[in-house]
Amino acid sequence: MRLNILSKTDNPLIVCEHVSCTYGNAPVLHDVYLKINRREFVGIVGPSGSGKTTLLKAIIGSQPVAHGSITIEPHLTIGYVPQVETVDWYFPVTVEEVIVMTRAKTKWWPRITTTERTAVREVLEKLGIADVAHRHIRELSGGQQQRVFLARAMFCQPDILVLDEPTSGVDVRTRHEILHLLADLHQDGLTILLTTHDLNGLAAHLPRLVCFNKTVLADGNPREVLTSQVLEATYGAPMEVLEHGGMPLVIDHGRVAMRGEGK
Amino acid sequence: MIFALDILAPYGFQFFRNGLVVATIAGALCGLLGVFVILRGMSYIGHGLSHAVFGGAAASAVIRVNYFLGAGIWGVVSGLLIARVARRRVIGADAAIGVVTTASFALGLALMNRYGQASKSIEAVLFGSVLGVKVADIYAVALVALLGLAVVVLGYRKLLFSTFDRDVAQVSNVRVSLVEAVLLAMISLTILVTMRVIGTLLISALLVIPAASARMTTNSFSRLLWISPIIGAVTCFVGMNLSYHLDTSASATIILLDALVFVVVYAVAGTRNRVKMASLGHL
């Protein structure tokens, strides 16, 4: 596993320096510094409204940056997986059509070609959902929905996957499957950046964690980052961190959040 | 026999044949663009833009500039202006349309009041006039229809992507703003060339109802792009004929027919869904 973020073989794909964004007059991001290297697996955690999604959108270029700069390695292909809640599930498209969309820039012919059909099948098989290609997107389970959009992001062979809350709204088993899937993709050499609010089920398993609330409050290995001081600064509420099976376990308000069955 | 002659009676008139051709092509064109209008939640834009173009039509009548030129430039500028204003997110597209188009409409009305002699052609623009259709109108509508078809076929993937998922389309290097500007310009052009026949006030319905009816019949985007223009064309064709025999306004008849199709499809689709639900009851 490549966990060391400060290794000498740094190969930054994305560098955010002093990045600030505003909605109207309200600052959403303030003086963000973040560097993502090739082959890293980074999770951003923070409460809702902390600007996690805005940061991702600034990185992918759909949110204008007010101050500072975001440097992206030239010719970098980003595969973006939006939050499932933001998808219009009533839109009249099949799974296959959704996945092929990413070729819109290079292909104009309206019909899906045989080559594309094969490529779609391959990526769906890789994600274990080969049978849903011709289904309408509303006829999918929560886990399948997440995988379809993961498949779409994978379809253009990205250098980096950017996922917004990949485990929101899915059950424990699906969350587990998604985490394994992402770990496998990372193992295959993909760089992954995701946001999550799931501290124990997802964040604690990642090699690198960024605690975020409008700005970067802590950045490093979960063991170093998941402390009650950092979490209180991030969430604005007292939190306790225990150790369980060699992993940090976050407890908020005395209520034990279920930890995903560890790997 | 007498019945058949009666049905064919209006075809003896040149103005009717011209009007029928324009209306039918317009129906197909509006049906095609309507698919994007309903999926993007821009139904209000047809309504708004037709009012904006009315301002341009009035202005060009007053300063005696060619209608297509004056109202055309006005329409395209309004479309771009709406896109521009809507980009400032605190305002929102619907409010942007409201601001730009009502101001334009008000200007048209004021010009009409002040320079009354131009009011005749302005009325034709407001309510549509089958009598006023010239051969030039047929060419104009046919040209825009071909252009619309070309835009939808050549830009199919970009249009679909940016309609379904704007952010990710942008990340995938689709020039979303350009796609949206082209779409708005196409809608403006469509309004421009069709409103003399079906009228400013009812054109928004033709940009919405056939596509909404079609949406209830299919879950496939590509099929939607076939069904909606067919509904638009057929209702315009039948509506024009009916309006002659019933002696009603062509635009009102067409829209009522479209509304009838909508109601029927709505009822049938509702029943079908209930049956489908019932059969899934065991799950």
Cβ of A94 within 8 Å of Cβ of B220? The answer is yes
Q: Which among B161, B164, B171 is the nearest to A60, CB-wise?
A: B171
How many angstroms separate the CA atoms of A12 and A39, rounded? 10
Would you place residue B1 in the very low, low, confident or very high pLDDT band (cuts 50, 70, 90)? Answer: low
Query: Which residue among B164, B219, B224 places its CB closest to the CB of A101?
Result: B164
Q: What is the pLDDT of residue A263?
A: 35
Residue corresponding to tokens 């290794």: A7
Contact partners, residue B170, CB within 8 Å, separation at least 6? A60, A61, A62, B162, B176
The highest-confidence range among A5-9, A90-94, B48-52, B123-127, by mean pLDDT, is A90-94
B169/A82 Cβ within 8 A: no
Contact B171 A91 (CB under 8 A): no
Residue A187 binned pLDDT confidence (cut-offs 50, 70, 90): very high
Tell me the pLDDT of chain B averaged across its residues.
Answer: 83
Nearest Cα residue in chain A from B177: A62
**Predicted local distance difference test score (pLDDT) of residue B193:** 84
Of all residues in chain A, the one with the smallest CA distance to B219 is A92
Looking at beta carbons, which residues of chain B come within 8 Å of A148? Answer: none
Beta bridge partners, A251, equal A240, A256
Selecting from B156, B160, B171 the residue whose C-beta is nearest the C-beta of A61 gives B171
The amino acid at B274: R
Q: Tell me how far CA of residue B19 lies from CA of A144, B8, B125, B193, in angstroms.
A: 51, 15, 14, 12
**Mean pLDDT, residues B207-223 taken together:** 92
Contact B258, B206 (CB under 8 A): yes
Whether residue B169 and residue A104 make contact (CB cut-off 8 A), yes or no, is yes
Share of chain A above pLDDT 70, in %: 92
Q: How close is the nearest chain B Cα to the Cα of A131, in Å?
A: 18
> What is the model's pLDDT at position B123?
64
Is the pLDDT at A131 greater than 60? The verdict is yes
Nearest chain A residue (CA) to B38? A91
Q: Alpha-carbon distance B230 to B226, whole Å?
A: 6
pLDDT value at residue A4: 40
Q: Is residue A154 classed as helix, strand or coil in its secondary structure?
A: helix
Range with top average pLDDT, A212-216, B38-42, B89-93: A212-216
| Cβ-defined contact of B168 to A24 (cutoff 8 Å) | no
Q: H/E/C letters for each residue in chain B?
A: CHHHHHHHHHHHCHHHHHHHHHHHHHHHHHHHHHHHHHHCCCHHHHHHHHHHHHHHHHHHHHCCCCHHHHHHHHHHHHHHHHHHHHHCCCCCHHHHHHHHHHHHHHHHHHHHHHCHHHHHHHHHHHHCCCCCCCHHHHHHHHHHHHHHHHHHHHCHHHHHHHHHCHHHHHHCCCCHHHHHHHHHHHHHHHHHHHHHHHCHHHHHHHCCHHHHHHHHHCCCHHHHHHHHHHHHHHHHHHHHHHHHHHCCCHHHHHHHHHHHHHHHHHHHHHHHHHHHHHHCCCC
Report the gap between the CA of A60 and the closest CA in chain B (Å): 6
Spell out which chain B residues touch chain A, with contact meaning CB-CB distance below 8 angstroms: 39, 89-90, 153-158, 160-161, 163-174, 215, 218-222, 224
Q: Which domains does chain B have, with CATH numbers?
A: 14-275 (1.10.3470.10)
B133-181 confidence digits (pLDDT tens): 888 889 989 999 999 999 999 999 999 999 999 888 888 888 998 998 8
Q: Which two tokens stand for residue B272?
A: 């079908």
List the structure tokens of B169: 């389309």
Displacement of CA A57 from its chain's centroid (Å): 11
Question: Residue A8 — pLDDT band, cuts 50, 70, 90?
Answer: very low
Interface with chain A: mutation pick from B171, B216, B219, highest number of A CBs within 10 Å: B171
For a pLDDT cut of 70, what percent of chain B falls above it?
89
